[in-house]
Amino acid sequence: MMNIKTLFFTSLTGVTLLLIPSAVAQTSSVSNPESSRIIREAIATKRINWGLRQDSPPISFQDKIGGWQGFCTNLTDLLDKYLREKQFINNNINIVKYPISIQERFKKTRYPYKDSLHLAGECGSDSIRKGETGITFSHVFFATKTLLLIRKTEEPRFSFLKNNSLPSFSTDSRPKIGVINNSITSERLQSYFNYLISEMEIVNIPGGRSQLIKALLEKKVDAVASDEIILRRILNELDIETQDKFYIDSELAISYESYGLILPSDDTKWVEIINQFFIDKKDDIELLTKQHILLPPPPPLFTKELIFILLMIVATLSGLTWVAYMYWVRQNSRSETKSNLDPKTPIFADGYALLIGVGESAYQRLSLPVTVKDVQALHQVLVDPNFCAYPNDMQHVRLLHDQEATRNQILKELNWLKQEAQANPEATVVVYYSGHGWFSKSQNRYYLLPHDTDPLDLEGSSLSAEEFTNALRQIKSKRLLVIIDSCHAAGMATAKKAPSDFEEIPIPKSVIDDLSQGKGRVVFTSSQGEESSWIRPDNEMSIYTYHLIEALQGKGNQSRDDVVKISHLMNYLGNKVPESALTLCKKTQTPYFNFESEDFSVARLNNRPSNKTTGGLK
């Protein structure tokens, strides 16, 4: 019987799906299909040659007797039926399946053909990528995370990836991570771990998935990196006793990979037909995805052991519910503003802040989880009565992150700041944004990417610099500090390949100049030029925000100061951020400050500790 721990985690596990983004932007029906080279050849030869990966379950594989199984098998059969329904081919033409190994992928589909076997397309665990000559990719049919499957006995040797430490393994003791030879996983590892990659050994395993499993079981490697669906398939195929010796580290999402069909690059009409197939058969493809890719629900287990565990869970939850209720009652009996519990403690009554950390994106490849940690830590210090002492209520400090950080909500909260500044002539306003910032070369325009950015319509769904600037100009406060952290390094982001027209860069100086126009306007950016913003090795906070919080806690002040000013932030960030980026990440990161106003206060500094600790930061 499956053990309870395995059952629990299996039932909670799913695969990140991007169900046919093309369905968002519907296209017209295909006209004149015979203008397709492949359709013309199919009519002449009475066949369409199609490649399937033979070693990538559950996506595509051959069973022990050579039968085709998996998602791609059923998808190819669905495509065959669709081409007949649309009368692109007649009943005398068949789609013939050919096995393709990982070493041979693209080879027989790449145009112009250099092989005797000419394929009209391939289906398998193939990540969409740019720069592949002779081939193109269809619309996305699903996406998944690249993760690590680690032997539990080796877990301590991988702990440095999550904490603030720089290990120094000997050459023979470095953790070994196995990857399938000829895959791009090793490139993903290089990009994600960056300067830490020298502390690991990447082992390319020839022979595909089966040899990858064998290398792990025979202890030739300490962990393997691959798609989440493949790793979970590996675990499910092991016996229960062996399963318990390994775990999948879901916190280290090395990348988010989008997958599509591989097609020859010369036949645009054929690509159009395939993409229309994804639109017209969206519901059927979604069913296939659920059938093959999503893990099935666990079988019912009506045993005494399970009944006892369920009863214990119910009892525990009942107790926790009662405790939570009593805590809620006690908390709500207090004043709403917790930052001034002691009436003798001064507060920064005229301080207002909007903290935006985009975090999870509706399009998973753009997600930046660490930005949520940044804004939550920044919020904590702003409302801390021992430091910044902003009133801890929704009329003074607001957070936007994950699903709340949409384009419309950001503009709505900027309008809230406008109204607060109108009502309070002495308002000091702080606007902090952490997320992606992309520059469109064709539009010559900079965009901030909120939660609901549509990758198929970046210009229409993102927040342009002009919109952002205009909204800030409506905030008529005497003092306004804008902090933008918009060029995150690969170590911070999960994955982010910009469309060809876009590039991720720090916010341009021309935009900063526009933002800073007006009395009392100050703009900070976390990096400049072609630099990136880097995350600390513990993955808990960005370097820039870490030192910003230290500065707000008085690390850049003199002992007699009771307020934190713009100059204190500038001096501290200007010294500490480049120093930490170089020490921790071996990279250059130089903050930029546009400061032409008077030196104003942005926070109080109450009860600052006399020692040199960071007041809680670790």
Q: Is the C-alpha dihedral spanning 251, 254, 255, 259 positive or negative?
A: negative
What percent of the chain lies above the pLDDT cut of 70? 78
pTM for this structure?
Answer: 0.47
Side by side, which strands form the sheet with 437-440?
463-464, 445-448, 437-440, 502-504
Residue 522 has pLDDT above 80, yes or no: yes
Torsion over CA of 377, 382, 388 and 394, rounded to 10 degrees?
-160
Residue identified by tokens 């054929």 is 270
Q: Cβ(456)–Cβ(140) under 8 Å?
A: no
Query: 120-142 pLDDT, tens per residue?
Result: 999 987 777 777 899 999 887 77
Confidence at residue 516, expressed as pLDDT on a 0 to 100 scale: 67
Question: How far is the C-alpha of 36 from the C-alpha of 32, rounded, in Å?
Answer: 8
Which positions ≥6 away from 203 have C-beta within 8 Å? 176, 177, 178, 179, 215, 220, 221
165 phi and psi angles, rounded to 5 deg: -150, 150
Pairwise CA distance, residues 493 & 485, whole Å = 13
* SS3 call for 448: strand
Question: H or E stretch including 522?
Answer: strand 521-525
Question: How confident is the model at residue 325, as a pLDDT?
Answer: 56
Q: What is the pLDDT of residue 301?
A: 41
* Confidence tier at 308 by pLDDT (50, 70, 90): low
Q: At 264, is the secondary structure helix, strand, or coil? A: strand
**What is the full DSSP assignment across 396-409?**
TEEEEEGGG--HHH
pLDDT at site 521? 85
Give the torsion sign (CA, 383, 385, 388, 390). Answer: positive
SS3 at position 417: helix
Task: Specify the length of the chain in residues.
Answer: 618
Say whether the peptide bond before residue 369 is cis (omega within 30 degrees of 0): no
Mean pLDDT for 263-276 is 93
Alpha carbon 30 to chain centroid distance? 35
What's the mean pLDDT in 243-270?
85
Domains assigned to the chain: 17-142+257-292 (3.40.190.10), 144-256 (3.40.190.10), 345-604 (3.40.50.1460)
Q: pLDDT band at 609, cuts 50/70/90?
A: low
pLDDT-wise least confident of 128-132, 257-261, 274-278, 310-314 = 310-314
Q: What CA–CA distance (Å, rounded) separates 351 from 390?
A: 6
**How many other β-carbons are positioned within 10 Å of the β-carbon of residue 41?**
15
- Specify the higher pLDDT residue, 451 or 49: 49
523-554 b/e with 16+ CB inside 10 Å = b?
bbbbbbeebbbbbbbebbbbbbbbbbbbbbbb
pLDDT in tens, 576-603: 999 998 998 888 888 888 877 788 999 9
Torsion-angle region of residue 139: left (phi > 0), alpha (psi -120 to 50) or beta? Answer: beta
SS3 content of the chain, % helix, strand, coil (to 5): 35, 20, 40
Distance CA 107, CA 98 (A): 13
Per-residue pLDDT band at 7 (split at 50, 70, 90): very low
51 membership: H or E segment, kind and range: strand 47-53
Rounded CA separation 115/46 (Å): 20
Q: What is the pLDDT of residues 367-411, one digit of tens each?
A: 888 888 899 999 999 998 888 989 988 889 999 988 888 888 999
Q: 195 and 493 in contact (C-beta within 8 Å)?
A: no
**Rounded average pLDDT over 267-281:** 92
pLDDT, tens digit, for every residue of 459-509? 778 888 888 888 888 998 989 999 988 776 543 333 334 455 566 666 667
Query: Which range has the worst mean pLDDT, 198-212, 213-227, 321-335?
Result: 321-335
Element (H, E) at 569: helix 566-585
The DSSP bridge pattern shows strands 592-595 and 521-525 to be antiparallel
Question: Averaged over 202-223, what is the pLDDT?
Answer: 87
* pLDDT at res. 541: 87
Look at residue 612 in the predicted model and tell me its pLDDT. Answer: 42
Distance CA 163, CA 264 (A): 45
Is pLDDT of 458 > 80? no
pLDDT, averaged across the chain: 79
- Region 21-40 average pLDDT: 62
The per-residue pLDDT for 379 is 93
pLDDT of 105 above 60: yes
For tokens 């199919």, what's the residue? 42
Higher pLDDT, 333 or 513: 513
Distance CA(221)–CA(203), nearest Å, equals 8
Give the mean model confidence (pLDDT) for residues 422-437: 91
- What is the reported pLDDT for 28? 40
Taking the C-alpha atoms of residue 469 and residue 480, their distance in angstroms, rounded to an integer, is: 12
Any idea what the Cα angle at residue 6 is, between residues 3 and 7, rounded to 5°? 80
d(CA 169, CA 101): 36
Rounded Cα distance between 121 and 71, Å, is 15
16 pLDDT above the threshold of 60? no
How many C-beta atoms lie closer than 10 Å to residue 604's C-beta?
Answer: 24
Residue 48 — pLDDT band, cuts 50, 70, 90? very high
Torsion of CA 51, 57, 61, 63, to 10 degrees: -170
d(CA 561, CA 602): 13
Backbone region of residue 494 per phi and psi (left: phi > 0; alpha: psi in -120 to 50; beta: other values): alpha
